[in-house]
Chain A
Amino acid sequence: MKISTRGRYGIRLLLDMAAQGKDSPVTLASIAGRQNISVPYLEQVAVILRRAGYIRSVKGAAGGYILLRTPAEIGIGEVLNALEGDLSVVDPPLPGEKETPLQRCLRAAVYNKLDKTIHDTLNSLTLETMLCKDDENESAYMYFI
Chain B
Amino acid sequence: MKISTRGRYSLEALLYLALQPAGSRESTRSIAEHTKISDGYLEQLFIPLKKHGLISGARGIQGGYTLGKKGMNTTVGDILRAVETTLSPVPCVEKSGTCAKERTCIARRTWKKLDQKIEVCIDGINLSDLKQTYDTLSREAAL
Query: In this assembly, does A28 line the interface, its C-beta being within 8 Å of a C-beta of chain B?
Result: no
Contact, CB under 8 Å: A8 / B90: yes
Chain A contacts for B105, CB-based, 8 A: 12
Contact, CB under 8 Å: B89 / A1: yes
Query: In this assembly, does B36 line the interface, its C-beta being within 8 Å of a C-beta of chain A?
Result: yes
A87 to B89, CA, bound (A): 11
A119 to B101, CA, bound (A): 26
Q: A15-B106, A121-B113 are known contacts. Are A102 and B121 too (CB-CB below 8 A)?
A: no
Contact, CB under 8 Å: B104 / A105: no
**Which single member of B1, B12, B114, B125 contacts A113 (CB below 8 Å)?**
B125
The A-B contact count (CB < 8 A) is: 114
- Among residues of B, the one whose C-beta sits closest to the C-beta of A144 is B104
**Which single member of B103, B117, B133 contacts A105 (CB below 8 Å)?**
B133
Contact, CB under 8 Å: A117 / B118: yes
Interface string of B79-120 (1 = CB under 8 A from A): 000001011111000000000110111110111011001101
Interface size for chain A: under 10, 10 to 19, 20 to 34, or 35 or more residues? 35 or more
Chain A contacts for B16, CB-based, 8 A: 102
Interface string of B53-86 (1 = CB under 8 A from A): 0000000000000000000000010000000101
Chain B contact surface mostly: helix
Query: In this assembly, does A130 line the interface, its C-beta being within 8 Å of a C-beta of chain B?
Result: yes
Chain A contacts for B125, CB-based, 8 A: 109-110, 113
A101 to B133, CA, bound (A): 11
Chain A contacts for B103, CB-based, 8 A: 144
Contact, CB under 8 Å: B118 / A118: yes
Q: A101-B138, A105-B130, A110-B125 are known contacts. Are A118 and B106 too (CB-CB below 8 A)?
A: no
Interface string of A93-113 (1 = CB under 8 A from B): 000000011111110111101
A83-140 residues with Cβ-Cβ distance < 8 A to B are: 84, 87-91, 100-106, 108-111, 113-114, 117-118, 121-122, 125, 130-131, 135, 138
Q: What are 13 contact pairs spanning A and B, CB under 8 A? A: A1-B2, A2-B86, A15-B106, A36-B101, A89-B1, A90-B8, A101-B134, A102-B12, A109-B125, A109-B133, A113-B125, A114-B122, A145-B106
